């Protein structure tokens, strides 16, 4: 699998579709796999939702609830789910044409269980751009229109529609903005600034290469949107990263989360195109990140998009242990764990976490005061022979806050770590493949531990 697709909340269920090749552990003819969850934590696998057809493979895209039945695929009483995706025609790619990606739609009237493709697909033909994909659609209330963002090589194209079938080009955003590389999987949404309640618009764009620690990564822009045009508040060359780890790509947010909930929830694909197809796994091939709530916060006089693990994950907490002050060098046996720690780093010291097993493999992560950066080092974390890009260097994320207090919220799974620091301003998501399970966690530092909690986590599959 790769990208998350069509994430939408409808009648009590979160739907997660995803790029899926059912016959192999490497990329191939793409389908939309499908899973649903009532709580964002426990997921049920459902049959493949969309199969390739004569128009092509089913690439990434989004889904919406068409509440007003603008598409006429359902009724006002029973609004349809509409999926908007890219058709990718292999024959066209092989013939080296540049018109083999175009946007199509499908609908469901049974809570996403079965899908019918629209008979007049594609709804947006290719305008002569080789990379023209990953439509994400939102409802823009002020003009009562659907708005679509599409990745088009070095920019995002914005379209609008009354009915999800007839689309009109509105504007381009990008070109020389942000990180230059192949742009993919955009998202666009309004979000309120935490402190003031002011509404801003955020555009998320994944870049296939040139991420801060190499390979694929996700940048974002903050600005305004008037229904037709997005304008960024920051200078063109400013690059803001959603995650500094190597394994969070193609993330987008859920559509139709109820207003009384109001969260903007993102899930990303926990891999990187540098090695996604070579990682040493057989029965599974990559996973999604934990769902994350996005918040726009004013930090050091500038706005930042911060991520935190969704609160529902607290359901997985088993026994909690308080890690006492003065016990800042410790060793615990662990399996699946969540850590919430705050340090007062007056000593300006290293804060080092080591996750280890009995055969000498280890992942080291934490904060390195010498370079004022958070870091993940997976050089000795097990098999890394499959790609030079996987672990040849330590991965860093420079800290932007000056407060001596540093907080961490960390999730450790058998093959991944999701590290949120400084209240989610800094995130590092990284995978690893030890030959034996990591079962020991050590923390070493001279910084004062002012708050420390550790929870064993239950598996999401065993309840
Ligand atoms: C991003 C991506 C998308 C595309 C999909 C194909 O990882 O390259 O741009 O739609 O994967 O599987």
pLDDT at 214: 97
Q: Assess whether the C-beta atom of 247 lies below 6 angstroms from ligand 1.
A: no
Q: Which atom of ligand 1 is nearest to the CA of 216?
A: 7
CB-ligand 1 contact for 441 (6 Å cutoff): no
Q: What pLDDT is attached to residue 463?
A: 54
Edge to edge, the sheet with strand 145-152 lists 133-140, 145-152, 155-161, 167-174
> How many alpha carbons fall within 13 Å on the CB side of residue 148?
31
Q: For residue 297, what pLDDT band results from cuts at 50, 70 and 90?
A: very high
pLDDT in tens, 130-180: 999 999 999 999 999 999 999 999 999 999 999 999 999 999 999 999 999
Q: Does residue 19's CB lie within 6 angstroms of at least one atom of ligand 1?
A: yes
Ligand 1 pocket mutation pick from 2, 129, 270 by most atoms within 8 angstroms of CB: 2
* Interval 3-37: pLDDT, tens: 999 999 999 999 999 999 999 999 999 999 999 99
Distance (Å) from CA 435 to ligand 1 centroid:
30
Ligand 1 atom closest to residue 27's alpha carbon, by position in its atom list: 12
Query: Taking residues 369-389, what's their average pLDDT?
Result: 97
Residue 66 appears among annotated catalytic residues: no
* Phi, psi angle pair for 16, to nearest 5°: -125, 110
20 lines ligand 1 (CB under 6 A): no
Element (H, E) at 12: none
Compute the mean pLDDT over every residue in the chain, rounded to the nearest whole number.
96
Cβ of 286 less than 6 Å from ligand 1: no
pTM above 0.85, yes or no: yes
pLDDT at 329: 59
Is residue 253 within a helix (H) or strand (E), and if so which, with residue range?
A: strand 249-253
**What phi, psi does 226 have (nearest 5°)?**
-110, 20
Distance between CA 26 and CA 339 in Å, rounded?
34
Structure tokens belonging to residue 157: 């194209």
> N- to C-terminal Cα distance for the chain?
24
- Mean per-residue pLDDT, 346-356: 92
User: Is 355 a residue whose pLDDT tops 90?
Assistant: yes
- Gap from CA of 378 to ligand 1 centroid (Å): 26
Residue whose CB lies within 8 A of the most ligand 1 atoms, among 59, 131, 206, 209, for a mutation test: 59
Please spell the DSSP secondary structure of 382-404, one letter per residue. S--TT-HHHHSS-EEEE-----S
Residue 390: is its pLDDT beyond 90? Answer: yes
Beta strand pairing call for 440-445 and 330-333 = antiparallel
Provide mean pLDDT across the span 265-289.
97
Q: Strand (E) positions, 336-447?
A: 337-344, 351-356, 362-368, 373-377, 395-398, 405-413, 416-421, 426-431, 440-445
pLDDT of residue 323: 83
Residue 33 β-bridge partners: 18
Find the catalytic residue in 3, 66, 187, 349.
3
Name the DSSP class of 123: S
Rounded to the nearest angstrom, the distance between the alpha carbon of 27 and the centre of ligand 1 is 10
Per-residue pLDDT of 245-266, as tens digits, reads 999 999 999 999 999 999 999 9
Give me the residue label for tokens 């899973």: 35
Q: 81 C-alpha to center of ligand 1: Å? A: 22
152 CA to centre of ligand 1 in angstroms: 12
Confidence of residue 324 (pLDDT cuts 50, 70, 90): confident
Residue 184 alpha carbon to ligand 1 centre in Å: 7
What confidence score (pLDDT) does residue 319 get?
A: 86
Q: What is the CA radius of gyration of the chain?
A: 22
317, two tokens:
């907490």
pLDDT single digits (tens) 46-84: 999 999 999 999 999 999 999 999 999 999 999 999 999
Residue among 17, 28, 60, 205 whose CB has most ligand 1 atoms within 8 A, to mutate: 60
Percentage of residues of the chain with pLDDT beyond 70 = 99
In 3D, which of 179, 182, 161 has the Cα closest to residue 170?
Answer: 161
* Whether pLDDT at 330 is above 80: no
Q: pLDDT-based confidence at 358, cuts 50/70/90?
A: very high
The per-residue pLDDT for 250 is: 98
The average pLDDT across 291-300 equals 96
What pLDDT, in 10s, does the model give residues 200-236? Answer: 999 999 999 999 999 999 999 999 999 999 999 999 9
CA distance 34 to 11: 16
Ligand 1 and 250: CB distance under 6 A:
yes
Contact between 431 and 413 (Cβ < 8 Å): no
How do beta strands 101-108 and 81-88 pair? antiparallel
- In 3D space, the residue among 187, 185, 188 whose CA is nearest the CA of residue 208 turns out to be 185
């Amino acid at each position: 699998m790769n990208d998350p697709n069509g994430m939408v909340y409808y009648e009590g269920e979160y739907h997660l579709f995803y790029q899926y090749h059912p016959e192999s552990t490497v990329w191939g003819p793409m389908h939309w796999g499908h899973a649903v969850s009532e709580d964002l934590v426990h997921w049920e696998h459902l049959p493949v939702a969309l199969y390739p057809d004569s128009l092509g493979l089913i690439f990434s895209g989004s889904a919406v609830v068409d509440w007003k039945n603008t598409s006429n695929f359902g009724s006002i009483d029973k609004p349809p789910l509409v999926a908007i995706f890219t058709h990718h025609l292999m024959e066209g790619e092989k013939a080296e044409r540049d018109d083999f990606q175009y946007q199509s739609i499908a609908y469901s009237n049974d809570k996403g269980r079965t899908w019918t493709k629209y008979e007049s697909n594609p709804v947006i033909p290719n305008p002569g751009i080789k990379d023209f994909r990953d439509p994400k659609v939102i409802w823009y209330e002020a003009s009562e229109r659907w708005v679509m963002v599409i990745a088009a090589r070095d920019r995002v194209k914005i379209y609008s529609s009354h009915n999800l079938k007839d689309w009109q080009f509105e504007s381009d955003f990008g070109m020389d903005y942000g990180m230059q590389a192949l742009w993919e999987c955009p998202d666009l949404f309004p979000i309120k600034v935490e402190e003031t309640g002011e509404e801003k618009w955020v555009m998320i764009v994944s870049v296939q290469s040139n991420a801060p620690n190499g390979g694929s990564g996700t940048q974002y822009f903050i600005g305004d949107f008037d229904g037709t045009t997005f304008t960024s508040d920051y200078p063109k060359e400013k690059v803001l990263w959603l995650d500094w780890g190597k394994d969070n790509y193609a993330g987008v947010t859920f559509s139709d989360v109820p207003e009384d909930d109001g969260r903007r929830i993102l899930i990303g694909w926990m891999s990187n195109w540098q090695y996604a197809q070579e990682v040493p796994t057989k029965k599974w091939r990559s996973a999604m990140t934990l769902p994350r709530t996005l918040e726009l916060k004013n930090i050091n006089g500038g706005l930042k998009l911060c991520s935190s693990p969704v609160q529902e994950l607290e359901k997985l907490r088993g026994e909690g242990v308080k890690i006492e002050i003065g016990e800042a060098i410790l060793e615990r046996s662990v399996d699946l764990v969540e850590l919430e720690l705050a340090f007062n780093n007056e000593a300006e010291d290293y804060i080092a976490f080591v996750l280890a097993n009995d055969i000498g493999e280890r992942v080291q992560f934490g904060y390195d005061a010498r370079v004022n950066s958070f870091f993940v080092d997976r050089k000795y974390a097990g098999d890394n022979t499959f790609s030079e890009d996987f672990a040849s260097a330590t991965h860093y994320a420079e800290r932007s806050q000056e407060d001596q207090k540093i907080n961490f919220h960390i999730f450790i799974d058998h093959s991944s770590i999701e590290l949120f620091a400084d209240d989610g301003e800094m995130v590092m998501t990284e995978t690893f493949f030890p030959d034996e399970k990591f079962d020991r966690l050590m923390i070493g530092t001279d910084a004062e531990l002012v708050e420390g909690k550790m929870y064993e986590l239950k598996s999401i599959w065993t309840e």
